[in-house]
């Protein structure tokens, strides 16, 4: 299995959802991200990171609230936002960074 840094160093966009199992809005995001994955197919990756199980990743990217979505391209964050977002918005942001 590829490491987090290997995955985000991809030349295709990688959307990372920093979430927590106890977070209500994070649960709302789950089906939205599944829908997004089916829309973008292989043009981007969608990754979920549990901040309670991966505190180092959350700390490294200063994730202070969940859900926080960060889009990486070639290992660098190119976009981020906290809170629930809609599929259309996310698909558009990914498209801009392809």
Complete DSSP assignment for 24-59: HHHHHHHHHHHHHHHHHGGGSEEEEEETTT-HHHHH
Residue from 26, 40, 66, 90 carrying the catalytic annotation: 26
Predicted confidence (pLDDT) per residue in 83-98, tens digit = 999 999 999 999 999 8
CATH number at residue 70: 3.40.30.10
Residue from 7, 12, 23, 82 carrying the catalytic annotation: 23
Predicted confidence (pLDDT) per residue in 26-72, tens digit = 999 999 999 999 999 999 999 999 999 999 999 999 999 999 999 99
Domain range for residue 30?
4-96
pTM of the complete model: 0.95
**Known catalytic residue: 26?**
yes
**Known catalytic residue: 23?**
yes
Structural domain count of the chain: 1
């Amino acid at each position: 299995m590829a490491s987090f840094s290997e995955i985000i160093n991809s030349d295709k966009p990688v959307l990372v959802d920093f979430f927590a199992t106890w977070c209500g809005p994070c649960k709302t995001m789950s089906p939205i991200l599944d829908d997004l994955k089916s829309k973008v197919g292989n043009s981007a990756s969608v990754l979920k990171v549990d901040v309670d199980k991966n505190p180092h990743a959350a700390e490294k990217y200063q994730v202070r609230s969940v859900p926080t979505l960060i889009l990486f391209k070639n290992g660098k964050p190119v976009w981020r936002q906290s809170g629930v977002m809609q599929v259309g918005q996310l698909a558009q942001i990914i498209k801009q960074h392809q």
